[in-house]
Structure 1
Amino acid sequence: MDTPTRWNSTYLMIEKAMEYIRAFDSLAKQDSNYTYAPFVKDWEKATVLCKVLKVFYDATMVVSGTSYPTSNLYFHEMWKIKITLHNESSNADLGPMIVVMKTKFNKYWYDIYMNLAIPVILDPCFKFKYIEFCLKQAFVNDPQPRIDRVRKTFRSLFNEYFSQLNNDNNNNFSQETGQDHSQMITADDDIFGDWDDHLNEHRQDPVTTELDRYLNESPISRSGEFDILKWWSANSSTYPTLVAIAHDVLAVSASTVASESAFSMGGRILTDFRSRLSVKSVEALICSQDWYRGSDSHWRRMGAITDLVDLRDTEIESPLA
């Protein structure tokens, strides 16, 4: 039966009922006591409502995925919902209800569009140009402040990562050589010291170079077989700072369903007859079962994630940590 607080259950109920339109009509003709058959107008309303709710259902399925990154897909699914509600709000029969849905959706949209936009910029199929294109439609009256805010936020994030990675590299170099790199350049016995200072003053900012090079390049062609993790792994040497951001941002799940589903099996592993397993054993059993159920593409994605991690010389933390 329908669950009033979950629109997906409403969609599934109506979708299944519409498969039996002829059965309802036939029963009404054969049984005079059956007076509950929907009228033609009711089925027309159900068709429109089913079309609207299908967008929510599809979005739920996409962002609840467990074998692919979902943070970069969230914006697209929310945008589909926004467009659908906008188009159907003028419907003569269901318009008032859809307007209420649209109002509630916009309440959260204005608060989270910034967080949804950042992962899309890291998708080479869309980048910042797509975000700019959508925001101009979403905020028709005055889109520029919103666009500038997203651009400023992403650039600030980039600068923070660049500074951190640069500091880490300098510290590693100093530890290996036992010398201060800045002292080496400005040493009195270096006859090229003035020349190095001149180059440093006129050298193009590397922070601007990498980010602008990525954003100015045209988005790559969209493909159903595109693997965003593999793409960043292959382009890690070209965009060392951006790949560090992608490593952290794309790892964020758009939904908590994935983690809840993975660890809900814990109750079947730790039972009354097997309750003395160590933390590492439980972790190994849960992860092994999850990976075993995954497809080959899931294993390839795991390899891409490992490549990104290795590039930053970090360790994969325990899921139970």
Structure 2
Amino acid sequence: MDLTHPYFPDGLNMLNDDFDLSGPVETVAGPSGSGATPTSRTKSKRLTSDVWQCFDVVEMTLSDGTVGPKAKCKFCPKNYTTSKGGTGFYNMKLAESGCPPAQSLTPDDWYVAKIFVEFLKVFYNATVTLSEVYYPTSSQAIHQIVEMSDMLNTYREDDMLGSTIVAMETKFKKYWSELHFLYALGVIVDPRIKLAGLEYLFEFIGNKLSVDYSDQITDIRNKLFEVFSIYERRFGGVDTEPSPELDTQPLPTSWSILKRRKKDKSASSSSSTTQFAASSSAELNRFLEAQFDTDENTENFDLLLWWKTYSYRYLVLSHLARDILVIPVSTVSSEQAFSMSGRIIEPRRNCLTPEMVEVLICVRD
């Protein structure tokens, strides 16, 4: 069962509310015979043993020709008279027939399942979000890494998941101890975050995973200026209009972290501002110094629409943002990335010409 399936958590909660897991109670027929009265034939019997999950109590014809209760195996055609034995008898018959042993879900099992659902749901949401194709995903990668690193940190000392988390975190840090420059640019061109917010998110991830990102932040800052200078030479022009007041709306991830950063009076950006002014053009400097907003009371912020609206004020930066935001985080489908059954894409598709690939994409869409 896929615990990350969106329907499973809801079903899990419903089952916990609706069912008493202390043990089922069924009314079964007692021994029958010529001297048995209707009252003596039926009695309440609490079927608390796990073995009863492998049997159905049904009315069948007995060896003496009368109709009475029998325990019918769910895995084979055999059936047994209910008065012949108890739990040990039925377990023995299951072993003799090669049928699977009975296993029940205890309240502890349900608790484990709920914990796993809560833990894996974060990774499921990240997979779904970053696999989309009709909105920019390059600006979402850092947000999802924040969520996953926070979840790993939360359950690292858990008695139940601790050993599993250690193995997961080791592999997670192997991939994300160095964050791709594309992911950083996707966040920087978000007018609500920019470089100052990115630095705080890197600090948050580093604290959760015990990773030092300070060198990467410096490298990202230098690369940002280099990339912008290339775009400035190609699309450059003098832009002296004042920065617009940002009427922004947040995405539903990681914004509480940025909001705390905004309220933190000890966070100073004076050193960063000085470096911006000394090493970047007026346009990039103005964009990076504008105050970003993380108001969580509004929704549906359209990042592409924002850049389309304010492109006339950020002539060069809007071209950079456009090129960055159209790049998907991954071009590999989640079905292929997580499949253990081999390649999903047929080998013949590896030799398709660019023209044929374009045709296939257009036909599918």
Contact 2:232–2:316 under 8 Å retained in 1: yes
Specify the SS of the correspondent of 1:226.
coil
Kindly name which structure, 1 or 2, has the bigger radius of gyration based on alpha carbons: 2
Q: Which residue of 2 aligns with 1:156?
A: 226
Contact 2:131–2:333 under 8 Å retained in 1: yes
* Pairs within 5 Å for 1:236-315: 236-256=311-331, 287=362, 290=365
Letter in 2 for 1:216: E
Specify the SS of the correspondent of 1:61.
helix
- As a proportion of its length, which structure holds more helix? 1
**Gap change, CA 1:111 and 1:221, over 3 Å in 2:** closer
**Gap change, CA 1:146 and 1:255, over 3 Å in 2:** closer
Q: CA deviation at 1:154?
A: 1.3
Q: CA deviation at 1:126?
A: 1.3
Residues 192-246 of structure 1 deviation map (CA, whole Å, 9 limit, x = unaligned): xxxxxxxxxxxx9894211111000011455422111111111112111111111
- As a proportion of its length, which structure holds more strand? 2
Rounded to whole Å, the distance in 2 between the matches of 1:87 and 1:29 is 40
Rounded to whole Å, the distance in 2 between the matches of 1:24 and 1:255 is 45
Q: Which residue of 1 aligns with 2:286?
A: 213
For normalisation by structure 1, the TM-score amounts to 0.62
Rounded to whole Å, the distance in 1 between the matches of 2:181 and 2:121 is 25
Greater relative CO (CA pairs within 8 A, separation 6+): 1
Letter in 1 for 2:127: T
Unmatched runs of 5 consecutive residues or more in structure 1? 2-8, 168-203, 262-266, 268-278, 291-321
Rounded to whole Å, the distance in 2 between the matches of 1:85 and 1:233 is 37
**Gap change, CA 1:96 and 1:57, over 3 Å in 2:** same
1:84 to 143, 151, 173: 151
Specify the SS of the correspondent of 2:306.
helix
Contact 1:66–1:258 under 8 Å retained in 2: no
Q: Which residue of 2 aligns with 1:11?
A: 4
For normalisation by structure 2, the TM-score amounts to 0.55
Letter in 2 for 1:211: L
Q: CA deviation at 1:29?
A: 4.4
Residue identity over aligned pairs, in percent, reads 30
**Gap change, CA 1:143 and 1:42, over 3 Å in 2:** same
Alignment root-mean-square deviation, CA: 3.4
Unmatched runs of 5 consecutive residues or more in structure 2? 27-46, 54-101, 238-276, 337-345, 347-354
Q: CA deviation at 1:86?
A: 0.8
Q: CA deviation at 1:256?
A: 2.3
Contact 2:189–2:321 under 8 Å retained in 1: yes
Rounded to whole Å, the distance in 2 between the matches of 1:259 and 1:37 is 33
Specify the SS of the correspondent of 1:241.
helix
Contact 1:89–1:99 under 8 Å retained in 2: yes
